[in-house]
Amino acid sequence: MPKLAQLAKFRVVLRTGLGFVVLGVGSSVCGAAAVGLLLFLQGIPAEMGTRTWVLLTCAGAYVLLSVLVGSAWSAILHRRTAVWFAQGRRPTPPEARRALRLPRDLALVSGTLWLGGTIILGTLTSILGSALDALGVTLAVGLGGLLTVGLMYLAAEWVARPILILALEVSPPRNAVSVSVLSRLAITWAVASGVPLLGVLIVAAPPNIGNADETASLIMLSIVGLISGALGTALLARAVAAPLHRLRMAVGLITRGRKDVSVRVDDASEIGSLQVSVNSMVAGLREQDRLRDLFGRHVGIDVARHALEHGASLSGDVREVAALFVDVVDSTALAYRLPPEEIVRKLNRLFDHVVSAVDARGGLVNKFQGDAALCVFGAPTRLSDPATAALSAARAIRDAVREEGELDLGIGVAWGRVFAGQLGSSSRLEYTVIGDAVNEAARLTEHAKHVPGRTLASDSLWSQATASEQARWSRHETIQLRGRDTPTKTWTN
């Protein structure tokens, strides 16, 4: 791994580790400080006298013990997560699933310790003081715990983001998610409004807990509510709004035709499932394009488009088309003299000229038959002047092959009505053209191999072409084609 990449990885690991330390220690200390300030402002406990120092000492000791126990407990729960993340390796599926529980486990550890503190300090206050003081301490510590645990959960998702991204690559969210957007909204509401307002209600409603003025406590609870609400909302926005914005940008690119879009899966909730779905959709679109490209290369772009638009069925129609047939001269002797791979290379270069000339004029290379090719002008795409296109393509193919000088060939072009459509069975279809024009073009090709221009066109096709194209062709002899009763007038170039 390059040094810069190693340094960047080390920084991510260090930043994440320090984030967990600050989160664990800071949340406990800040929560305890907020609870202590609330109790002080309320004058709780009021009836302990000189024994107050015992409660304060126990509270401080429990906070310190909670930090140590919480850190050790979290380290034991996720020691494997720390190892694979620090090593920079890909986690195993069980390790990934455990890592996805990291925010929930941290909140569970924090909540358990706060619950223990609530019980211990509430019980100790009832022993050293009055029941009303015990109620005040229990409620204050409990509210502080709820607020701290809620913020802990939301902040842990943010701090653990680098770990969660790697874990989600191995164990992406599917139908069942480990956390939901609804639960995040509920926790944010509790942190921003629920707990602070409950504290206000407890302070203002009877019975009056404590002997101090309630104004300072209410102001303090309002400030805590503003701060916790701002933090909770910011963390929720980072967890929900930011990935949704990235999803919206990605979908916008996809709708504009981009297929190279990839959304980073960095959330374990329904948003993560949506990220996975978008990536799967893009992969499906890329696969569709690949299949469409392969389909088009095998049957022709026009045939592929026709099949996609109208479906695959044993159907077709009768049209007047120009059929062009290309065949190599003396292919048997060629196969005897040359190795197969050399013949294939020569044929591929020949067919490259055929495809280029036919595509440029709107025709279809219907099929390759060994060393021959059948081309059609007028199906499945209708052309305004298929005869002129076919004659022009015949000249272009002949000239390109002659210039290359590798092969000799004959080209026959004919005109007539043919069936153009799908042929075969319901499980295996092929688009083809069947009719006398195809047979006539093939027969003309046999004679074209012995004509100096290597091209022959039927008189019926030549008469359909434009005057400028007709002028390029000269009258050839009348030929009796094999399998036909009447002779055929022909033209050559």
What is the reported pLDDT for 98? 86
Q: What is the band of 406 on the pLDDT scale with cuts at 50, 70, 90?
A: confident
- The DSSP code for 58 is H
Q: What is the dihedral of CA 424, 425, 430, 433, to 10 degrees?
A: 30
What is the reported pLDDT for 177? 59
Q: Which residue has the tokens 């050559």?
A: 492
pLDDT tens-digit readout, 333-389:
887 888 888 888 989 999 999 999 999 998 988 888 888 999 999 988 888 999 999
Q: What is the band of 442 on the pLDDT scale with cuts at 50, 70, 90?
A: very high
Per-residue tokens: 341: 């791979």
C-alpha 185/C-alpha 271 separation (Å) is: 13
pLDDT tens-digit readout, 15-51:
676 777 777 777 777 777 777 776 666 666 666 666 7
Which of 205-219, 230-244, 279-293, 332-346 shows the lowest mean pLDDT across its residues? 205-219
- The DSSP code for 90 is P
Start-end of H helices in 178-330 = 181-189, 195-204, 214-236, 242-255, 270-299, 301-310
- Reduce the DSSP state of residue 178 to 3 states and report it: coil
pLDDT tens-digit readout, 118-127:
888 888 888 8
User: How many distinct helices (H) and strands (E) make up the chain?
Assistant: 19, 8
Pairing verdict, β 488-492 and 455-458:
antiparallel
Class of domain 317-492: alpha beta
Task: List the chain domain ranges.
Answer: 3-254, 317-492
Give the residues across from 430 on adjacent strands.
423
pTM of the model: 0.61
pLDDT tens-digit readout, 177-200:
567 788 888 888 888 888 888 888
Backbone φ and ψ for 292, nearest 5 degrees, come out as -65, -40
C-alpha 220/C-alpha 391 separation (Å) is: 92
C-alpha 326/C-alpha 455 separation (Å) is: 9
Among 349, 370, 375, smallest CA distance to 360 is for 375
Query: Does the pLDDT of residue 55 top 70, yes or no?
Result: yes
What is the reported pLDDT for 14? 64
Q: How many C-beta neighbours within 10 Å does residue 413 have?
A: 33
Q: Calculate ∠ Cα 195-197-200, nearest 5°.
A: 115
What is the reported pLDDT for 376? 93
